[in-house]
Chains A and B, each alone.
Chain A
């Protein structure tokens, strides 16, 4: 009696296990999106940000995402959605992403490692390196390396700068206070950079950007 019951139950149990795992691969998982949706979204991001996330010089410089700190990417996506950071293209892109998708995208891009696009004026690299490593004491600008790391790889919410597009860096630093921290009621970490971006001259920004442009 007991043996025959097990005989009946076992095939049914196997069937249930197999069909449930097969089903999970196709259906939406607990995060709220399917693998297919994630792949499509990654491909969509790469249309502008480059096939390996290396960035692209479009009608405006589109930043490198490859090797970026995942925490930083997630923070920026949230900042775009909440309009603390203003960019009309990225608002449109970001506001349809749920938090789980944001995290998955951030993880994907942080794992990429193509060569930097380069292209910045090479003669400025030495001056840029000096600013990156020593700061500009006369202007109360600390060394960038102290937060962004000696190799500009970033750390947690401090972004990686290595290999970033030079004109993107220039635009962001010059426009810092008009693009970041735009919700006075909700100040965010971008406030740290505000005095630094303000105190650096355009020539210094151009030099630092050139140095970072070639870092791998």
Chain B
């Protein structure tokens, strides 16, 4: 093989390497082109960023329901209105399902951004609720390890900031998808209880 051929191949390999390095390595899954728009806010690996929650490893039925509720404008808190109403407006149901299934298969990584000192109290509240003030155990629906089931979302590893805001918003009267009991439940939580829950859950793997 002469030097010119080597040079030809080398340049192609360099280009290939450059292109390949921009694609995030995801164990076995192929990123649908449609996900690129989500990645701007939710992160290349869907791990979340700022107010945009982690979508990786979330229950796919839950993601689908949320996309529908953004499109129908049922979910109406300020960030949803500002960003997600537009983002979901042109998604067809098959696309929603495709995205949801893709996201649910991505590997989990806990946000770990809560207050470690509050985690133990948060765990007790998560598992037992507070019967004296009529707060139900979260684990009964969300699972013993906050993993969720069917269309009930996984809470484990979500960002402390995201969880805190959601719980507060439901207490302030913002809506969620139809039939979800969360606004009623969350409105009973004190701010201290929200703090410990959000902290605990941010560490759950």
Which A residues fall within an 8 A CB radius of B? 40-41, 43-44, 47-48, 56-60, 62, 88-89, 92-93, 95-96
Instruction: With A47-B185, A59-B149 as known contacts, state yes or no: A89 contacts B132, CB within 8 Å.
Output: no
Which B residues fall within an 8 A CB radius of A? 127-129, 131-132, 134-137, 139-144, 148-150, 152, 181, 184-185
Determine if A92 and B141 form an interchain contact, defined as CB atoms under 8 angstroms apart. no
Majority secondary structure, A binding face? helix
Give B128's nearest chain A residue, CB to CB.
A92
A47–B141 alpha-carbon span in the complex (Å): 10
Instruction: With A88-B128, A92-B129 as known contacts, state yes or no: A44 contacts B136, CB within 8 Å.
Output: yes
B154 to nearest A CB, angstroms?
Answer: 11
Give A42's nearest chain B residue, CB to CB.
B134
Majority secondary structure, B binding face? mixed
Determine if B137 and A89 form an interchain contact, defined as CB atoms under 8 angstroms apart. yes
Determine if A62 and B140 form an interchain contact, defined as CB atoms under 8 angstroms apart. yes
Determine if B141 and A93 form an interchain contact, defined as CB atoms under 8 angstroms apart. no
Question: Given A43-B134, A48-B136, 9 other A-B contacts at CB below 8 A?
Answer: A41-B134, A44-B131, A47-B136, A59-B142, A59-B143, A59-B144, A60-B140, A89-B128, A89-B137
Query: Can you name 6 A-B pairs with beta carbons within 8 Å?
Result: A47-B181, A57-B150, A58-B149, A89-B128, A89-B139, A92-B131
B80 to nearest A CB, angstroms?
Answer: 24
B132 contacts which chain A residues (CB < 8 A)? 96
Listed from nearest, the 8 A-B pairs whose CB atoms lie closest are A44-B134, A59-B143, A58-B141, A92-B128, A96-B131, A47-B136, A59-B149, A58-B140
A119 to nearest B CB, angstroms?
Answer: 12
Residue among B128, B132, B139, B141 with most chain A CB within 10 A = B141
Determine if A95 and B152 form an interchain contact, defined as CB atoms under 8 angstroms apart. no
A43 contacts which chain B residues (CB < 8 A)? 134, 184
A59–B143 alpha-carbon span in the complex (Å): 5
A93–B134 alpha-carbon span in the complex (Å): 9
A107–B141 alpha-carbon span in the complex (Å): 26
A192 to nearest B CB, angstroms?
Answer: 28
B142 contacts which chain A residues (CB < 8 A)? 59
B35 to nearest A CB, angstroms?
Answer: 29
Give A62's nearest chain B residue, CB to CB.
B140
A40–B143 alpha-carbon span in the complex (Å): 24
A89 contacts which chain B residues (CB < 8 A)? 128-129, 137, 139-140
Determine if B131 and A93 form an interchain contact, defined as CB atoms under 8 angstroms apart. yes
B152 contacts which chain A residues (CB < 8 A)? 58-59
B144 contacts which chain A residues (CB < 8 A)? 59
Give B142's nearest chain A residue, CB to CB.
A59
A60 contacts which chain B residues (CB < 8 A)? 140
A111–B45 alpha-carbon span in the complex (Å): 51
A44 contacts which chain B residues (CB < 8 A)? 131, 134-136
A41–B149 alpha-carbon span in the complex (Å): 26
B69 to nearest A CB, angstroms?
Answer: 19
A116–B97 alpha-carbon span in the complex (Å): 30
B125 to nearest A CB, angstroms?
Answer: 11
Residue among B134, B135, B144, B148 with most chain A CB within 10 A = B134
Q: Which of A41, A47, A56, A95 contacts B184 (CB 8 A)?
A: A47
